[in-house]
């Protein structure tokens, strides 16, 4: 007899007999993570994958504004030493396509997890929202860290996977793992238990 689990990959949530909740725009906030110049023309340009993600993020932002839900823009700041995310550099600025409106909250973070040492949890809770839609850079780093933290804090998360992107990484032998593989793996790891994956089209047309 064929082992179904061996032949057909399943998420941990599916194996446990669970499922993610259905998205409810009236009960959600949207968090845009690190759409900053550093990833466009700074030290870590994400190329075409980044461009595609930005285009989708713009569609998601337009949808969120029409739904009149709380919108949070996260910006990473490093040390003022001339390296990546130097707060004295224009590279920390949010890209032109996704500039926040005055009614939208901008939160500066210094760690991958957007909830760590910030007001993000308190502000979403104060808005009485239980669900969060996440999108941003980079898939394996700040997006993953923030989504996993949201899970620990009791939120229900949805990740707009085609509005996220990342870069090539070296493996333990210093050989390249492609950005596409890193992104796909990061998204699969989140879907295993932490968040439902949704496409931009699904969100915009929901």
| pLDDT tens-digit series, residues 65-81 | 999 999 999 999 999 99
Give the tens place of pLDDT for each residue, 128-166: 999 999 999 999 999 999 999 999 999 999 999 999 999
DSSP state at residue 163: G
Task: Tell me how far the alpha carbon of residue 149 is from its chain's centroid.
Answer: 12
- In this prediction the pTM is 0.95
Give the tens place of pLDDT for each residue, 22-59: 999 999 999 999 999 999 999 999 999 999 999 999 99
Average pLDDT, the chain: 96
Give the orientation angle of helix 144-152 with respect to helix 179-193, to 10 degrees.
10
* Beta carbons of 132 and 125 less than 8 angstroms apart: no
Q: Considering Cα of 197, then 202, then 204, then 206, what sign does the dihedral take?
A: negative
Distance in angstroms (rounded) separating the CA atoms of residues 40 and 36: 7
Under the banding of pLDDT at 50, 70 and 90, the label for residue 8 is confident
């Amino acid at each position: 007899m064929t082992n179904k689990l061996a032949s057909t990959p399943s998420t941990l949530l599916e194996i446990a007999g669970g499922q993610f909740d259905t998205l409810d725009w009236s009960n959600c906030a949207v968090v845009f993570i690190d759409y900053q110049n550093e990833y466009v023309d700074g030290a870590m340009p994400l190329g075409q994958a980044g461009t595609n993600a930005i285009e989708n993020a713009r569609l998601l932002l337009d949808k969120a504004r029409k739904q009149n839900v709380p919108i949070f823009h996260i910006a990473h700041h490093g040390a003022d030493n001339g390296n990546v995310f130097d707060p004295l550099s224009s590279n920390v600025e949010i890209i032109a396509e996704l500039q926040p409106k005055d009614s939208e909250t901008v939160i500066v973070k210094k760690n991958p997890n957007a909830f760590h040492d910030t007001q993000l949890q308190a502000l979403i809770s104060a808005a009485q929202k239980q669900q969060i839609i996440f999108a941003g850079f980079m898939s394996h780093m700040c997006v993953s860290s923030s989504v996993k933290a949201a899970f620990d804090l009791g939120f229900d998360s949805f990740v707009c996977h085609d509005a996220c992107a990342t870069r090539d990484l070296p493996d333990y032998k210093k050989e390249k793992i492609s950005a596409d593989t890193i992104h796909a793996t990061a998204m699969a790891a989140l879907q295993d238990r932490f968040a439902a994956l949704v496409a931009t089209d699904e969100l915009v047309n929901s």
